[in-house]
């Protein structure tokens, strides 16, 4: 145990801090999306990124987490999440007007970069960034704690995992997916993506994938992203803190908690990849849906025409403005780079 954790600690210090799904989650989402991208989408993405390698989307999946920690990219740090000011575990919901502050959030960012990625008035370099942000943010928005204000998205809830001190946010990002898959190398992501693609195509999720595309409307990216955020945020009440903060604070979560969390993590990664492919296809071809086979599970084609469905904001009558402002002050003070240095160890 000791040599392994020393290794892990020094390795973590050497790479940019991942602030959402760690490397494993983001590259897996990208690889799933590559599988379901249409031919035109593949051409569009490979051309814009100038990368025709086998991992062309996976290669840029964590760029946004490195960029946010540069002086130039600092402004983009708040765009990786939306802090829902709901009251888990009793009430989970996301409200754009209530929860997306002036500096922006993952929902407004997805809307903005969806417009910019194909906008002829936007420079090539900025179009490229827009695409890299879309690939990353579609992943982030599927991590339930990226759609939650409570305790800075779980960052200030101390827990242990496998006897290592960490926080609740971090185990959802990294510890739990890595325990399931066994590592975070590209080969681990490839292995995991194949499993999840099979589940999508002809397994556990096959009867649900068309519902995953509901509410998608390229003319209203904000509403579309609100569907994804709301869907993800619901897991905060059901699975992330079903017994409130006291149910997890200071606890070892590798046992029963992990067992109930892992099916949600698998499904959210699968959904994120599938929705990312459908969203990129929508951007490039104007039609939602997925196609293409890569791993030999058979051609799978889903088309959802029309399907314009606006999400009605859940109006919480008594927004607690003071509580929201306090949460924002804590979030802003928390800093732009996933919290104080060394906090996670």
Ligand X SMILES: *[C@@H]1O[C@H](CO)[C@@H](O)[C@H](O)[C@H]1NC(C)=O
Residue of 34, 60, 80, 148 that binds Zn ion (CB under 5 A)? 80
| Mode of pairing for the β-strands spanning 158-161 and 164-167 | antiparallel
The answer to the question of residue 20 lying near Zn ion (CB under 5 A) is yes
Nearest to 294 by CA among 62, 24, 54: 54
Instruction: Write out the binding residues for ligand X, residues 100-119 only, by CB under 6 A.
Output: 104, 108, 112, 116
Catalytic residue, candidates 21, 172, 192, 212: 21
Q: Is 173 a catalytic residue?
A: yes
140 binds, among Zn ion, ligand X, none (CB under 5 to 8 A by kind): Zn ion
Of residues 217 through 276, those in contact with ligand X by CB under 6 A are: none
Q: CB-wise, 187 or 202, nearer to ligand X?
A: 202
158 binds, among Zn ion, ligand X, none (CB under 5 to 8 A by kind): ligand X
Per-residue contact track with ligand X, 114 to 153, x per CB under 6 A?
Answer: --x-------------------------------------
Least distance between ligand X and beta carbon 318 (Å): 27
65 among known catalytic residues: yes
Given the complex with ligand X, which of 113 and 258 has the nearer CB atom? 113
Distance of CA 166 to the CA centre of its chain: 20
Which residues, 187 to 216, sit near ligand X by CB under 6 A?
Answer: 202, 207-208, 211
Catalytic residue among 86, 99, 147, 173: 173
Which whole-number Å values give the CA distances from 344 to 146, 165, 175, 260, in the listed order?
A: 17, 7, 11, 23
- Is 29 a residue that touches Zn ion (CB under 5 A)? no
Q: Residues 130, 131, 134, 140: is their CA dihedral positive or negative?
A: negative
Contact 188, 182 (CB under 8 A): yes
CB 35 within 8 A of CB 295: yes
**Tokens 């035109």 map to which residue?**
40
The b/e string for 200-234 (b: 16+ C-beta within 10 A; e otherwise) is bbeeebeeebeebbebbbbebbbbbbbbbbbbbbb
d(CA 10, CA 15): 9
- Binding ligand X (rule: CB under 6 A), the pick from 12, 183, 244, 297 is 297
Residue 98 vs 136, nearer CB to Zn ion:
136
Q: How far is residue 301's CA from residue 305's CA, in Å, rounded to a whole number?
A: 13
Q: Applying CB under 5 A, which of residues 83, 86, 99, 140 lies at the interface with Zn ion? A: 140
Q: Residue 9 interacts with ligand X (CB under 6 A)?
A: no
Note if 228 is an active site residue. Answer: no
Phi first, then psi, for residue 87 (nearest 5°) are -135, 70
List active site positions: 21, 26, 65, 68, 80, 136, 140, 146, 169, 173
């Amino acid at each position: 145990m000791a040599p392994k954790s020393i290794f892990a600690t020094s390795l973590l210090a050497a790479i940019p801090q991942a602030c959402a799904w760690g490397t494993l989650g983001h590259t897996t989402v990208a690889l799933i999306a590559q599988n379901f991208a249409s031919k035109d989408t593949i051409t569009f993405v490979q051309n814009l990124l100038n990368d025709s390698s086998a991992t062309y989307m996976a290669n840029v999946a964590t760029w946004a987490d490195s960029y946010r920690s540069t002086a130039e990219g600092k402004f983009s740090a708040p765009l990786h999440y939306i802090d829902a000011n709901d009251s888990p575990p009793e009430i989970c919901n996301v409200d754009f007007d209530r929860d997306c502050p002036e500096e922006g959030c993952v929902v407004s960012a997805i809307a903005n970069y969806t417009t910019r990625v194909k906008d002829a008035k936007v420079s090539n370099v900025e179009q490229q960034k827009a695409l890299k942000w879309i690939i990353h943010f579609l992943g982030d928005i599927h991590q339930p704690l990226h759609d939650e204000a409570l305790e800075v998205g779980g960052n200030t809830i101390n827990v242990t995992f496998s006897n290592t001190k960490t926080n609740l946010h971090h185990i959802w990002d990294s510890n739990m997916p890595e325990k399931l898959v066994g590592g975070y190398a590209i080969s681990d992501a490839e292995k995991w993506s194949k499993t999840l693609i099979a589940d999508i195509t002809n397994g556990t999720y096959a009867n649900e994938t068309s519902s995953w595309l509901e509410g998608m409307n390229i003319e209203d990216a904000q509403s579309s992203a609100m569907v994804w955020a709301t869907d993800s945020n619901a897991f905060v009440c059901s699975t992330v803190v079903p017994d409130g903060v006291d149910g997890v604070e200071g606890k070892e979560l590798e046992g029963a908690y992990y067992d109930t969390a892992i099916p949600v993590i698998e499904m959210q990664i699968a959904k994120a990849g599938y929705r990312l492919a459908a969203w990129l296809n929508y951007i490039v071809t104007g039609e939602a849906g997925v196609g293409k086979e890569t791993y030999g599970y058979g051609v799978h084609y889903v088309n959802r025409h029309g399907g314009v469905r606006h999400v009605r904001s859940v109006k919480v009558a008594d927004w607690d403005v003071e509580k929201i402002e306090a949460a924002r002050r804590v979030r802003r003070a928390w800093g732009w780079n996933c919290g104080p240095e060394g906090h996670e160890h």
